[in-house]
A = this chain, B = another copy of it.
Amino acid sequence: MDVGTPLTLRMKWTLKLKDVSYENIEEDRFNMSAQLFQYNPVHKRTPVLVHDGKPICESTIIVEYIDQIWSHNPLLPTDFYERALARFWVKYADDMVPAIGLLAQSSNGEEQEKAKEKIWEHLRVVEDQCFNDEKKFFGGDTINIVDIAFGSLVQFIGVLEDALEVKVLGDEKFPHLHSWYNDFKDVPVIKENLPDQDKMMVLLKFTLFVMGSSSDSTLSYIGL
């Protein structure tokens, strides 16, 4: 459902990486269907995976579920300690979402700077702690759940940069992250399933214009 937002993108990439066939039901983000409310009564938002008639909600939980049901091309390490580490960084990616939301909702230069600072704080930790010469991806030689979690957010930050005409992810500021994202989006499955950044930008601008940047519900319309 609705693969044009950063969190639904995680589900799409995961299904594609597993080569699982599925039916994609797009949701009109301004007029969500009764079916979506029935499947996700708590959050009333995408993504939702419906498998065997039962709904699974929350992007990270969906990715873990898919990884368990279709266990080929594993996205989580089998070693328990490595798995805990992967979950730590996925949570760290998720913890960055509110700051990205703040940036999207910023209505003046000061708010924008504050939001950028918060995002930078997060990215600085990732830049300094997650990369070494031996690992191309968070998952090592191949991408894993951490790459998917950060990849969807970095892709969306790129959309925000274009829409708001700001610079967040400079290659000088975060050289490792920059190089990682270039490798990540070159992975064939990711490359073939990257959303159209220009279309996303137009939709984002439209959403912010229609909803007003400071509206409480703006974030859910953006898909954060």
Contact = CB atoms under 8 A, between A and B. Distances in A.
A69 interface: yes
Given A54-B81, A56-B81, A61 B129 contact: no
Interface stretch (A19-27, A86-94, A144-152): A86-94
A124 to B, nearest CB: 11
B80 A65 contact: yes
Interface residues of A, number: 25
Copies of this chain assembled into the complex? 2
A34 interface: no
Contacts of A80: 65, 68-69
Contact of A92 (B42, B69, B83, B92): B42
Interface of A: 41-42, 51-52, 54, 56-58, 60-62, 64-65, 68-69, 80-81, 83-84, 87-88, 91-92, 125, 129
